[in-house]
Structure 1
Amino acid sequence: MLTAIVVYMCVGAIAGLLAGLLGVGGGLVIVPMITYAMALQGISTPYSHHIALGTSLASIMFTSVSSFMAHHRNKAVQWHIVRQVTMGILVGTFVGSKVATLMPIVWLKGFFIVFLYYVATQMVLNIKPSGSRTIPGIVGNSLAGSVIGFVSSLVGIGGGTLSVPYMTWCNVPMRTAIGTSAAIGFPIAIAGAAGYVFNGLGKEALPAYTLGFIYLPALAGITVASVCTAPFGAKLAHTLPIPKLKRYFALLLYVVATQMLYTLVR
C-alpha cells in the first residue's frame, strides 16, 4: 500500500503541473497510472479501468480549482465562456459516464488508446485550428460543452485537450484559452465524478475503500500532490514556451499509449 500511495502522489504532482501548465486535467497520465498502481497493490477487478476513469475525474475537481484560481490571478480566465458551456458540459459528462459503464472494457480501453495517439500527434505536429471565428453565443457554447463533456467522461480528463483547441479556433488567445480551460475542467469533474459514483454503486467485485467507481486512497494521494503543484504549473504557463513543452508531453503520451496497446493486444 505504501508503494502505491507514493505512486499516487507522484502522479498527482505531475497531473497538477500539467493542469496549470497546459490547461489539461492530467487525466491522460492519471488513468493509466492508477491502473498500474492498483496492479502493484495486487488489486484485481474487472472494473479497474472504470475506477481509474472515475478517480481521475474526482481528482480533477480539486486540481482544477487550484489551477484556475492561479490563472484567474493572472486575468487569464474568460468567465462568460465558462458560464455558457457549463450546462452542456454537465449533461454531456453525466451521459458519457453512463455510456462508459455500458461499454465492453476492451472498447473503452481501445477508445482511450486511440484518443492518446490523437492528442499526442496533434501536439507533435502543433496542429492549430484556424483562429478566424469568434466565440458563439450560449446555444453554440452549450452544444460544444456537451461534446467536450461527453468525450472527457469516456477518457477521464478535464477537457483541456478539447476545450483549448475549441477556444483557439474561436480566436481566443492561447494563454487565455489555457486558463479558461482549467476553469471548465471543474464542472466536467463534478458531473463525471457524480456519474461514476452513481453508476458504480452496488457493483460486485469492487476493491475496498471505493465509492462507486472512485478509489479513495488514490484520490487522496493524487489530490494532495496535485493541489500543491497546479499553481506552479500556472505560473510557468505565463513564462515558458508552450509548443516545446507540448511536444515533450506528446512523447510521454506515445509511450503510455503504446504500452497500453501492447497490454490490450496481449
Structure 2
Amino acid sequence: MFSPGAGPAADPAGDRHERRIRSFQPRRSRVTPAQRQALLRLWRRWGIEVDGAAPLDLPRLFGGLPVVLEIGFGMGEATVEMAAADPGIGILAIDVHTPGQGNLLRLAEREGLTNVRVANGDAIILLREMLAPGSLEGVRVFFPDPWPKKRHHKRRIVQPEFVELAASRLREGGVLHCATDWEPYAEQMLDVLTTSRSFVNVAPSGGFAADRAAGRPVTRFERQGLAKGHVVRDLLFRRIG
C-alpha cells in the first residue's frame, strides 16, 4: 500500500510477534484518498512503528508533557476531542486499523494539534518493550472488541496479565480507564480490576464509574451500542503502591 517509510507497516514487529493469543485482528480495509494523503504526509512526523526494537523517548516525543496511552481509537474522532480539550496531556494512540490511523492524523492536523502521536502495532509489545516503568499518566481502553463468544473470551484484552503490565507502566496515582457497552465484559473487567492489588477503584461505590466518567467523549462504537439499547459502563482504577 505504501512505500517503505511512507506509511504504517503491515507487520512492524516481524518475528518479535511471539506465539500468544491476541486481542485484535489487523484490518486493512479501504483507505480513502484523504486518509491516504494524511498517512503519506504525516506518518514520518507523527507515526510510530511498534517494532519492539528500542524504548520510546516519551519526553522527546511529547515535549515533556505527561502521556496517556489510548489502546484502540477507531476512527480517531474521540481521541482528537480529548486532545483538543486537554492540550497539557500527550496522547499516544495505538491501533492496527490503517483507515483509522489516517483519519486520526488528518483530524489532528486539521485541528492544529501537536499533542497526538499515532502508533501502529501490538499494544502488548508497546507496553512491554517500548515504554519505561512508571512512564504513563494514564491508560485508556475504550470499547475494545468484546469477543462475545465464550470460546473467544481468552482474546479479550482486559485480563489479569494485561492489567499488571499496564500497572507497571503507570506512575503511582495514574489511572486505567476502561469502557464497554457489553455487560458481560464489563462485569469481567470489574472483577479483574477489583482483584488486582495494583489498583484501587476510583468510584465511591466500588462498582462502575459515573456515566461517561472523566469527561470521556461519546465514541462511534458507543453510539452504535446505544442505538442497540446497550448500557455503557466506565471503570476508573487508580494505580497504588
TM-score (norm 2): 0.25
- TM (norm. structure 1) is 0.24
Higher relative contact order (CA 8 A, sep 6+): 1
- Considering fraction of residues, name the structure with more strand: 2
